[in-house]
Structure 1
Amino acid sequence: MNNERGNTLITVMLVSLIFTVLGLSILASSIGSVKRTETRESDLDVTYDSIKVLETMTADLSGKLSSLPLDYYMDFENNKVKGSYNTDMRNLLSSLLSDTKKNSGSSFECINIIDVSSGSPAAVDPSSSCGRQLERDTIYTLDTDKDFTRVLDFVLVTKNPAETEGKVSRTVKKRIILSPLPSFLKYAVGSEADEEDSGLFLNGSPNIAGNTYANRLAIDEDAHYIYRNGEEKTVSTPKPSLMGDIYSSTSHLLPVVSESKNFYRGQAPPLKHDSQFFNIDFEKTMNQRIAALQRDAKLDVRMPDDAEKLKDIISLGIKKLAGTSYQINPEGYVKKIENAESQTSLTSEDVIPLAEGYVIDSRDEKIEIKTDTNVNGDLVIMSTQFPIDMDSTIIVNGDLYIMSYKDITLSKNIYVTGKTVILNYGEKIALGGDLISAESISAESYKNASLSIKGNIMTGTSLTLLPNETSIIFNEDIITGEHFTINGNETDGSIEDDSVAFDSVVYTGGKASISNANIVGAKDANGNEQQIILMAKDDLLITRIDEFNKYSSVDEDGEPYLPKKFDKNITPLKGFFYTEKEATLYGVGSLFYIHGGVFAKQKLTINAVRGVTESIDDLPKLQEGKLSRFVVKYDQEVLLKRIETLPIMEQLQIFSDELLVY
């Protein structure tokens, strides 16, 4: 009996102990859970507060930048930035950092600004080692003696709020780019106008991978397209996908952006305010570039106006440069034209030099000319059987025709008071100097032929480029008094193999038109791929790009809905395209993939479907989940390049880059 009682007591005590342990465990778990919740809440709170501080710093910096007028700091004569700019920039950042610490610094372990523009990171406050360098951080190689651009990291390390809330420490880093470039280069797509029937019109389902700017926005579920006979039709599509933020300086966009049904898969972009939109003064900027090119080419500096066109100014300048000394060079290779043969161009027009012209023809031997050539009349340079190498300045008071069957190398500046026609039938044409023509310039290049122009180009009227199963390469800037046209061969019916490669800024005083051709980046001296920045005073038209082509895989692979990186079926249009007026673009039959951006000051209209278009009569029925036929992928690298021939704004503007919390 006593043993039974003892066993019962032990059992009761054991059960009590078990329940006590379980209770204590549950209590400890509850306390730990509460503590973890408090720690998590503290973590969220301090992270949110930290981000707010950095956003406030960015806004404060925006207000201070007006104290650095860029015209004041530019040494135009030596084409560099004055030394006082670096000093004043550092003082401005020190003031910003001091104000931030004063207002909120006690809440954090440290705050600093790190300049990563060039070489080793430089802290504005060297006494603080706030933030650690991450392996993925990029240190840039900007030439800070010549470039206004700066790349800054705002770094903040949080302070543990209270020991009872657990250990909470976060580093928040925000990277910003200070750029002197025009605001349109900050956006993948945009339009500045704020009037009725202007702004940005997205018809159908384009995909924009980057930020968008608009003061008016209209969205239509139908994409518009045009038959070759001019008849306009529509096709139903999904809505547009905007894989970035949308910025505006007005409140007009709120009703559109607040409705998720207006966007692909219901993904409405965040709407943000841009109070610092600075656009270009096109007329002023183009005249500055004309003057700079005139100075470089040793022509009189004169600006076109209503009374005097650019072509007249160029013609008079060339005649003054030549003086009365028109002479045939002593090598004896320049001969009078007799019974000139007609040459047929891609435009199906006969090219026949006028009477009283001259010819340099390598029919019998290789020609090398080192003496300047001044010709009073038309001049034909034709490499019929052997190469031609002219290491001399060429001045033509008339029209110039360059026709190649063998290599032609023209190393120095070429001045023409009339028109310039380049026909590249075979081998290589290489122009090493500037090409300045009072009248039009046209350049045609055919299969297995190479045409490159390494100098600047200026024409008083129009420039027409006609690549045919080949590439034409430009490595400097282009100015046209009137129109700029690129037309590839639309009759070959194969994958697009007509291309023009640019490392250029193009100013055109009229319309800009690109059709049936790839626009790619030329390689610079360091082998880096560059791009075109095309600015047109009149309308912009880009059409029949990769017509009826398709991606190697048309199915989406998640956001941001871009084609595969190395898709061999499509070549991105590499560049930024801007017009002072209107641009209408079609990704219905065409397959657009712009790596850069497109912007229209008055009105930008984009039409697009998704999926495969076999012909204009066979548009895709199933479009959801398919890649758009009009894609823009923003290229941020443009903000970090020193492009001397782009307009410089009155003050720096801010581009917010990545935000890291770790």
Structure 2
Amino acid sequence: MRLRLHEQGYSLITTLLVVTVFLLLGLTIVTAAVQHAQFTTIRVDDVQSLHEAKTYVNEAVSELKAELSEPNFFVNHRIFVPDQWDQFLGIDSPSPGENTIAGRLHDRYGVVMKDESAQYNIPKNQVFLRALRLSKTFTDGHQTRTVQRLVFVTNTPSFLKYALGSNRDVVLNGGIYVEKGNVYAGQQAYASNTTNYVKKNGELTVAMPNAGMPSLSSSSIWYTSDGRLNACGQTSNCWEAAQDRFHMTNNWASLWPTDVLEPAPTIRQENEDFIDVDFDLTVADKLLQASGISPLSSQTRDAYIEQVEAIQEAADKDAELHRLVEELSNQWTSLPINQNIPLEKAIKESPKTKPLYLNGNSVLTGDIDISNNGVNQWLIINGDLRLDGPTNPNTFVSVRGNFIVLGNVMLTGNLRLDASIYATGYTKIYQNKIERAANDKGLVLLSKGPLDISRINEFDNPTIPTPNLKGYFYTDSSATIYAVGSYLYIEGGLFAKGNGTTAPDTDINGLVVNAFRGQVNGDNGEPSRFAPGNNPLSSRLIVRYRPEVLVEQGTGLPFVNRISLVVDRLEVE
């Protein structure tokens, strides 16, 4: 009996121990579940905080882009000097006001905008380019982290991003080679194996379809409005000549032809906003600054703004530019129009401390040096300009200086150019041999009217291709380039905005390029004995992208009245 009582006592103790163990296990499970729920809640809060911070930073970037992308931005906000730009952004103070961009982004999104331009060696007192870092902090557990994006804000014109391009259509006929840089077509893009040219008597000629397809380097890209490229290959008739115009046939397709040797290029859709040049404001800006009327000076700033606004608001901008020239001309050195005094002599003997002015059409045939202490001065011509070099293959005329031409421009003969030329009319570069200047600078040419380039360095067949023309060419209108008998190796770029006027000899609005790949000889001044080549460097038109040519001229960038943003990837630290 006593033994049974002891056994019952042990059973009771065992039962109590088991119950206690299960109770402790249950409490542990409940505690773990509560802690896990709390941890999950914390992690959800952390993830939500991270997502919220990312959303606010991205919304701040979008608002910044929206506020800065309006047309005529600088003039509308009366921002003409870098200091005013910093005040508008709110990066000139550690505590930006609510009327600044930085203040509004902080009030609406809690996003801090910090100026990091100095880290990128940006000369803030000279340019409007800024490096801005937008950031927002959030809590991650027991630590504070940051979501951030770096944004470059700039008024650089978009055409400087491309080796070749147009806001409208781009047509590349034949074996042009883009050695470096990209091609941009704001509307339709075309590439063919046929090249066209015009004989001296004006006859339109469609060459045999073996000129080569356009070729781009492995790092170069076609950017088009829809990510497509229309092509016409070896066995098709791509063009016909009728009524003094080259017209496309119906043999084009949105597929790269299979009967050509060249591989299909990389094609992408361009999604960035395109920032245009305002040509009339650019000319006005150059006229004013050449006359010492600058937005950087407090004494002349109001006068500068008044004149720029007058050009912007004028219904007839050409007439307004002529009015501005007439108003400013008394501040310049007038050159005599005298048959007995060559213009080259008058230019040479005139002081270059202020701009030179010629009221009338002009033909310059000798060496021209419009510089003062090594800095190019301006020659302003109220009429047409013809730079006419010699035709002897071994004799060149050197031209150095800056030109504003309220009329048409014609370049012909053998020229060495260190110049910037702004022309309000059309520009024709014809039957030239053009070389870079002795100081290794080149030509910046901006034309409001159509641009026509043909018969340049004709029938040259170099064994070692080297750049022979350093320059950047821009037209507000359309352009046609011929490199069939010509030979051009451009170190720079070429862009045609395409403002409604068709390219010379075509019904295309935009840029039209004709180039043969291989050697060409001439008979009686016309191309003959075509010898096609497979090497891209045997192309008779090579373009090596180099936008710095504009800056080297010292004229600054063309006037751009809008802002664009280049946004880096989002980072979490």
Which band: TM-score by shorter chain?
A: 0.5 to 0.7
**Normalising to structure 1: TM-score of the pair?**
0.54
Residues 1:247 and 2:173 are matched in the alignment: no
Q: Against the structure 1 CA distance between its residues 512 and 407, is the aligned structure 2 distance closer, same or farther, given a 3 Å change threshold?
A: closer
Which residue is equivalent to 2:15? Answer: none
142-151 vs 181-190, greater mean Cα deviation: 142-151
Give the C-alpha shift of residue 411 in structure 1: 5.3
| Contact residue 172 and residue 214 of structure 2 kept, 8 A | yes
Give the C-alpha shift of residue 317 in structure 1: 6.3
Residues 1:269 and 2:266 are matched in the alignment: yes
| Contact residue 518 and residue 539 of structure 2 kept, 8 A | yes
CA distance in 1, matches of 2:262, 2:437: 34
Which residue is equivalent to 2:562? Answer: 650
Amino acid at match of 2:412: N
Which residue is equivalent to 2:175? Answer: 205
Amino acid at match of 2:184: Y
Q: Against the structure 1 CA distance between its residues 398 and 487, is the aligned structure 2 distance closer, same or farther, given a 3 Å change threshold?
A: closer
Of 208, 221, 238, the residue aligned with 2:212 is 238
Q: Against the structure 1 CA distance between its residues 405 and 247, is the aligned structure 2 distance closer, same or farther, given a 3 Å change threshold?
A: closer
Q: Residues 519-545 of structure 1: CA distance to partner in whole angstroms, max 9, x if unpaired?
A: 63685xxxxx65533221211012222
Amino acid at match of 2:475: T
Which residue is equivalent to 2:355? Answer: 434
Q: Against the structure 1 CA distance between its residues 74 and 313, is the aligned structure 2 distance closer, same or farther, given a 3 Å change threshold?
A: closer
Larger helix proportion of the pair: 2
Which aligned pairs between 1:328-339 and structure 2 lie closer than 5 A? none
Q: Residues 334-358 of structure 1: CA distance to partner in whole angstroms, max 9, x if unpaired?
A: xxxxxxxxxxxxxxxxxxxxxxxxx
Which residue is equivalent to 2:514? Answer: 607
Residues 1:618 and 2:529 are matched in the alignment: yes
CA distance in 1, matches of 2:455, 2:333: 38
297-306 vs 629-638, greater mean Cα deviation: 297-306
| Contact residue 587 and residue 609 of structure 1 kept, 8 A | yes
Q: Against the structure 1 CA distance between its residues 93 and 85, is the aligned structure 2 distance closer, same or farther, given a 3 Å change threshold?
A: closer
3-state DSSP of counterpart to 1:613: strand
**Normalising to structure 2: TM-score of the pair?**
0.61
3-state DSSP of counterpart to 2:529: coil
Which aligned pairs between 1:98-117 and structure 2 lie closer than 5 A? 115=116
Q: Residues 50-105 of structure 1: CA distance to partner in whole angstroms, max 9, x if unpaired?
A: xxxx9xx99985763343454477653x68654425744999899999x9999xxx
Which residue is equivalent to 1:596? Answer: 492
Which aligned pairs between 1:498-537 and structure 2 lie closer than 5 A? 498-502=415-419, 504=420, 506-515=421-430, 516-518=432-434, 520=436, 530-537=441-448
CA distance in 1, matches of 2:170, 2:264: 18
Of 579, 582, 586, the residue aligned with 2:475 is 579
Give the C-alpha shift of residue 639 in structure 1: 8.5
Which residue is equivalent to 1:184? Answer: 159
| Contact residue 334 and residue 356 of structure 2 kept, 8 A | no
Give the C-alpha shift of residue 113 in structure 1: 10
Give the C-alpha shift of residue 410 in structure 1: 3.8
3-state DSSP of counterpart to 1:184: helix
Amino acid at match of 2:490: I
CA distance in 2, matches of 1:510, 1:612: 34
Give the C-alpha shift of residue 451 in structure 1: 3.4
Which residue is equivalent to 2:191? Answer: 219
| Contact residue 435 and residue 457 of structure 1 kept, 8 A | yes
Which residue is equivalent to 2:398? Answer: 472
Give the C-alpha shift of residue 241 in structure 1: 1.1
CA distance in 2, matches of 1:654, 1:230: 46
Which aligned pairs between 1:339-488 and structure 2 lie closer than 5 A? 394-395=333-334, 399=338, 402-403=341-342, 409-410=348-349, 412=351, 431-445=352-366, 451-453=369-371, 454-468=376-390, 469-476=395-402, 478-488=403-413
Which residue is equivalent to 2:123? Answer: 143
Q: Against the structure 1 CA distance between its residues 101 and 267, is the aligned structure 2 distance closer, same or farther, given a 3 Å change threshold?
A: farther
Give the C-alpha shift of residue 483 in structure 1: 0.4
Q: Residues 149-170 of structure 1: CA distance to partner in whole angstroms, max 9, x if unpaired?
A: 246899xxxxxxxxxxxxxxxx
3-state DSSP of counterpart to 1:548: coil
| Contact residue 442 and residue 465 of structure 1 kept, 8 A | yes
| Contact residue 81 and residue 145 of structure 1 kept, 8 A | no
Aligned residues: 427
Q: Against the structure 1 CA distance between its residues 62 and 617, is the aligned structure 2 distance closer, same or farther, given a 3 Å change threshold?
A: farther
CA distance in 1, matches of 2:132, 2:438: 29
Which residue is equivalent to 1:634? Answer: 545
| Contact residue 471 and residue 499 of structure 1 kept, 8 A | yes
Amino acid at match of 2:424: G
Give the C-alpha shift of residue 277 in structure 1: 0.8
Amino acid at match of 2:520: T
CA distance in 1, matches of 2:202, 2:91: 58
| Contact residue 444 and residue 466 of structure 1 kept, 8 A | yes
Give the C-alpha shift of residue 439 in structure 1: 0.9
3-state DSSP of counterpart to 2:125: coil
Q: Against the structure 1 CA distance between its residues 253 and 591, is the aligned structure 2 distance closer, same or farther, given a 3 Å change threshold?
A: same
| Contact residue 91 and residue 115 of structure 2 kept, 8 A | no
CA distance in 2, matches of 1:307, 1:647: 16
Give the C-alpha shift of residue 271 in structure 1: 0.9
Which residue is equivalent to 2:33? Answer: none
What is the CA RMSD across the aligned residues, in angstroms? 4.9
CA distance in 1, matches of 2:532, 2:425: 39
| Contact residue 178 and residue 652 of structure 1 kept, 8 A | yes
Q: Against the structure 1 CA distance between its residues 144 and 617, is the aligned structure 2 distance closer, same or farther, given a 3 Å change threshold?
A: same
Amino acid at match of 1:148: F
Give the C-alpha shift of residue 188 in structure 1: 1.0
Give the C-alpha shift of residue 314 in structure 1: 4.7
Structure 1 segments unaligned to the other structure (5+ residues): 1-53, 103-111, 122-138, 155-173, 194-198, 323-392, 413-430, 490-497, 524-528, 554-562
Give the C-alpha shift of residue 279 in structure 1: 1.6
Which residue is equivalent to 1:24? Answer: none
| Contact residue 91 and residue 114 of structure 2 kept, 8 A | no
3-state DSSP of counterpart to 2:538: coil
